[in-house]
Chains A and B, each alone.
Chain A
Amino acid sequence: MSITTPLFQHHKHCDDLFADAESACGNGDWEEGGKLFALLHDQLEAHFSSEEELLFPAFEAATGMTSGPTEVMRGEHRQMRDLLGQMGSGLADRDGDTFSGAAETLLILMQQHNMKEENILYPMCDNALGGSDVGATLSERLKAS
């Protein structure tokens, strides 16, 4: 198992949560949708913060690349947090258009973000951090979330 395998798996977990939350709210089941959205929000936040507080600093320290790919990823995390915020207000107002519009945008942003991470950044991290214990810490942190 590589260092970033838990993050790979966690992407899929978040995809599932997204699909369930979107489906529930789309069907007008705001109560269930609200619970699922809260779960999605927490899991995505745990994912972003694990990367920002653990993986990215370790990668930057190992490679000296502080203004490169990790900065782009942090920027996209900010955009996704913002879209999650818009989904949250749509949910609070029971406003289906706001919720589904922000969800649609989040989905595509999240998918292309995940592809960049999975295809490029994670392999770079696996190379740079091969002998470290970052993987075990990431795994524990995501499990605890």
Chain B
Amino acid sequence: MHPNLSFDQAPPISVPYRFFLAAPWFGVLAGLLLAWSGGDALVSRWTPEVLALTHLVGAGFMLQAMSGALFQFIPVAVGGNVWRPRLVANVVHPLLVVAALLLVAGLLFSSPAYLTAAVPLFLLGAGGLVAAVAVALWRTPATGMTLWSMRMAIGGLAVTVLLGSILAEALARGLDLPVIDLTNVHLAWALGGWALMLLAGVSYHVVPMFQLTRPYPLWFTRSFGPLLLLLLCAWSSRLVFDDDRWVTAIALPLLLVFSAYAIMTLWLQYTRRRKVDDATSLYFRVAMVSMLGFALSGALVRLYPEFGDDPRSIVWLGVLVFVGVFVSAITGMLYKITPFLNWLHLQRLGAPISAVPNMKKMIPADDMTGQLRLHVLALLLLLAAVWQPTLARLAGFAFAASCAWLAWNLIGAARRYRQFTDQIRAVVLHP
């Protein structure tokens, strides 16, 4: 039988859940760090606090959630078989958690010891993940642009981690390397090659499925990933060919490609058949509007030096893309994936379907929309705090609170899974 036709290969529910449950706590830490640091932390992208915050969200929240989603998504959407998922997750998950915390500590305290300790753990953790996932993605008989985007994304993760490791070593040992250019290339691969590539590939599959939109047009899915990859390679040439006009000539089309994904997704949402809005569709809208804000601000920063000269403008871009785009899109997806995962695993316990609680019983809708409102408030406060430092502590607390609420909602889903499992087992054993 074709592997796509069954969920039998889906990993045990504990595999994705451990990543999903860990992710929000990195956001809580990021919020608390900002609240503790105060307004001066956000004056430039190079302050130890901003470097630490960026990696709490990127290497913590995002990497955790996206790794968990990969384990779940590969068998279900592209029929791939991750080798012994429970074992791989048991090894990779703690490595990535400890590596991210060490990296953040190394950046925050400018500590060579923490930085050099983080590097091997990252290489092992992310290397193990990339290897296990890459084998699954290249062996599957499936075809299509979701699969190709996932393949490119896992390559993007590998480049991101390698460049990040070089940077950490350069910082720790004071190596004579072009650190600023390397950082810009590392960041572009992290955001474009890994995060956006995966988000787009997954969107091709789940946006029509969760929100009942039309499919992404074939011309779009066929050109988006390859074009993004090409532009990232061109962007990387700044390591050897650092001319400002060349960098602008690559940056603008790159931002255009980011916007094209956002506009296409918003258009599909706008013209969709399903008129019911829920936390997921609203979260996606927040993410796509933030993406457009990021692309527009990025273009202004490149084209008009009066914007770009203020170092805060890059921090503004960072808030838009990390919190506005990726934390929003990921949270929106988690709010569909976890309830469906619960239902899927519960209905396999053998009870009649009518005994299995439906998806809406897994996380109360009011808790999801309430958390969404707090997240949007935190995002707006963070954006304002970039220019108005007195707001930074409040913004930090708001972001910590919204991530804690997300954690609480996900813990609730896990708890309900356990509770419903016990109830259903009782029905199956004593009908």
Given contacts A15-B212, A15-B273, are A120 and B358 in contact (CB under 8 A)? no
For this complex, 25 residue pairs linking A to B, each with C-beta atoms less than 8 Å apart, are A16-B273, A18-B212, A19-B212, A23-B275, A26-B276, A68-B1, A69-B2, A72-B5, A79-B353, A82-B354, A85-B354, A86-B358, A97-B360, A100-B276, A101-B358, A101-B360, A102-B358, A104-B358, A104-B359, A105-B358, A108-B340, A115-B205, A119-B4, A120-B2, A120-B4
For chain A, the count of residues having a C-beta within 8 Å of the partner chain is 35
A1-50, CB < 8 A from B = 15-16, 18-19, 22-23, 26
- For B1-39 the 0/1 string (1 means CB < 8 A from A) is 110111000000000000000000000000000000000
Whether the pair B1, A82 counts as a contact (CB closer than 8 A) is no
- The answer to whether B209 and A108 touch across the interface, beta carbons within 8 angstroms, is yes
Q: Min CB distance, A132 to chain B, in Å?
A: 22
Query: What 9 new A-B contacts, CB under 8 Å, besides A83-B358, A102-B358, A104-B358?
Result: A78-B353, A82-B352, A101-B361, A104-B360, A108-B340, A108-B359, A111-B210, A116-B4, A124-B2
Residue ranges of A at the interface with B (Cβ–Cβ < 8 Å)? 15-16, 18-19, 22-23, 26, 65, 68-69, 72-73, 78-79, 82-83, 85-86, 97-98, 100-102, 104-105, 107-108, 111-112, 115-116, 119-121, 124
Q: Tell me if B416 is interfacial: C-beta within 8 Å of chain A.
A: no
User: Restricting to B233-250, which residues have a CB under 8 Å from any CB of A?
Assistant: none
B336 close to A (CB within 8 Å) = yes
Interface of B (DSSP majority class): helix
- Which single residue of chain B is at the shortest CB-CB distance from A79? B353
B205, B276, B343 — which one has the most chain A CB atoms within 10 A of its CB?
A: B276
Bound Cα distance from A105 to B340, whole angstroms: 7
Nearest B residue to A17 by beta-carbon distance? Answer: B273
Task: List the A side residues contacting B354 at CB < 8 Å.
Answer: 82, 85-86
Closest to A114 in B: B209
Complex CA distance for A120 and B6, rounded to whole angstroms: 12
Are A108's CB and B358's CB within 8 A?
no
Contacts of A78 in B (CB 8 A): 353
